[in-house]
């Protein structure tokens, strides 16, 4: 959940109002995780006011945080306390890749989750995935999963092999939950030429609605996650999904044309997940890459340049030493040091 913040903390009054409007209009699936700071506690404060059968809640076991089998019980009980939910409608192994899948097998996470399901604390078991389609198929065949969360959007469909992942799961009859349908907001912050293609085709539709409808139009997609951080975004998403209509062939052609224009920017495929943090040298990696993408999508340093200069010296891309500590932590497998070098060079030119 990307909740509204004020002074670095969740803005509770704003978030409460957003949840109330969402629930009122049938938006009742909430995705959180143990490592999303303050998110599970927020869920507990807000959703406990609603009947438990009126919403669906997903949380996740942080495989990368496990040091022993005993950690699973401790973490799970803490999540139940935080969320006050009593049970999880969906519960995932978080951030499965090759390394974390090996860890999950070593710690027998599946067996633990099956036990919790038998106890009535979990209704359905799944996982969120960040790796190649070949590994996805191996993991998907290992157990009778009930929902699998993959990153899918029109930018990643071919380049990041999202299409192959979709087809693997569809072929196996496993329902899909989509994360990053707007690639961390990158598919909203398009360059002017790409935006114009969308607005000319459908003046009353938001740029975000194109990305959300793209994901939701796929037959095997059961859930599309949207990280809403403002009331405006909630209203726009409700407008998109109320009386939902899949993309037409003409709209798909429009989207393809806009994508061609967007790719000309050479933007970094960073979703802002923050798994790369903390940097041992203090570089604010997600912020730097977001600013770099802003420059590439708008064609101007403008506001991004001012924000960059206002950052503490150690937080800027120019402070990157190239140590590479961030690289293995990036689910997108971005060559972060190289991209930070490009970012620093871009701002140096400004």
Q: Where are the beta strands (DSSP E) in the chain?
A: 5-6, 9-10, 29-31, 56-61, 88-96, 122-129, 147-151, 176-179, 221-224
Pick the residue with more confidence: 273 or 345? 345
Contact indicator for 169, 128 with CB cutoff of 8 Å: no
Would you say residue 298 has pLDDT above 70? no
Best mean pLDDT range from 1-10, 145-154, 267-276: 145-154
Closest by alpha carbon to 150, among 139, 136, 138? 136
- For residue 178 the two structure tokens come to 């989509």
Q: In CATH, which of 3.30.70.790, 3.20.20.100, 3.65.10.10, 3.40.50.2300 is domain 5-263?
A: 3.20.20.100
What is the rounded distance in angstroms from the CA atom of residue 279 to the CA atom of residue 319? Answer: 10
Task: State residue 26's pLDDT score.
Answer: 96
Is the pTM value of this prediction over 0.85?
no
Find the mean pLDDT for residues 200-213: 98
Domain ranges of the chain: 5-263, 285-349
Residues 93-109: tens digit of each pLDDT = 999 999 999 999 999 99
Report the Cα 11 to chain-centroid distance in Å.
20
Which of the four pLDDT bands, split at 50, 70 and 90, describes residue 223?
very high
Residues 257-270: tens digit of each pLDDT = 998 888 777 678 88
Task: State residue 105's pLDDT score.
Answer: 99
**What string of DSSP letters covers 90-126?**
EEEEEEE-HHHHHHHHHTTHHHHHHHHHHTTSEEEEE
Residues 37-58: tens digit of each pLDDT = 899 999 999 999 999 999 999 9
Which of the four pLDDT bands, split at 50, 70 and 90, describes residue 1?
low
Residues 116-131: tens digit of each pLDDT = 999 999 999 999 998 8
């Amino acid at each position: 959940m990307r909740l509204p913040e004020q002074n670095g903390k969740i803005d509770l009054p704003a978030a409460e109002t957003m949840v109330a409007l969402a629930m009122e209009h049938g938006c009742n699936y909430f995705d959180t995780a143990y490592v999303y700071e303050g998110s599970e506690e927020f869920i507990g404060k807000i959703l406990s006011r609603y009947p438990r059968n009126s919403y669906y809640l997903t949380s996740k076991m942080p495989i990368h945080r496990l040091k022993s089998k005993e950690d699973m019980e401790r973490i799970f009980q803490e999540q139940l306390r935080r969320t006050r939910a009593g049970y999880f409608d969906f519960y995932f192994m978080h951030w499965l890749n090759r390394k974390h899948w090996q860890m999950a097998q070593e710690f027998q996470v599946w067996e633990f989750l099956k036990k919790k399901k038998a106890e009535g604390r979990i209704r359905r078991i799944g996982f969120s995935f960040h790796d190649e389609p070949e590994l996805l198929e191996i993991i998907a065949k290992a157990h009778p999963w009930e929902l699998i969360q993959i990153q899918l959007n029109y930018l990643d469909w071919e380049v990041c092999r999202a299409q192959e992942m979709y087809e693997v799961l569809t072929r196996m009859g496993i329902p899909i939950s989509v994360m990053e349908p707007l690639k961390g907001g990158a598919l909203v912050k398009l360059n002017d030429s790409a935006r114009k293609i969308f607005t000319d085709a459908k003046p009353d539709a938001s740029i975000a609605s194109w990305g959300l409808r793209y994901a939701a139009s796929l037959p095997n997609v059961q859930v599309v996650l949207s990280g809403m951080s403002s009331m405006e975004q909630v209203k726009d998403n409700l407008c998109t999904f109320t009386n939902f209509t899949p993309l037409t062939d003409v709209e798909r052609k429009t989207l393809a044309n806009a994508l061609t224009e967007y790719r000309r920017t050479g933007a970094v495929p960073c979703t802002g997940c923050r798994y790369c943090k903390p940097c041992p040298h203090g570089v604010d990696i997600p912020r730097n890459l977001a600013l770099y993408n802003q420059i590439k999508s708008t064609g101007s340093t403008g506001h991004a340049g001012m924000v960059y200069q206002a950052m503490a010296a150690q937080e800027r891309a120019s402070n990157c030493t190239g140590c590479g500590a961030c690289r293995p932590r990036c689910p997108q497998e971005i060559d972060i040091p190289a991209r930070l070098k490009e970012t620093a060079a871009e701002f140096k030119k400004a």
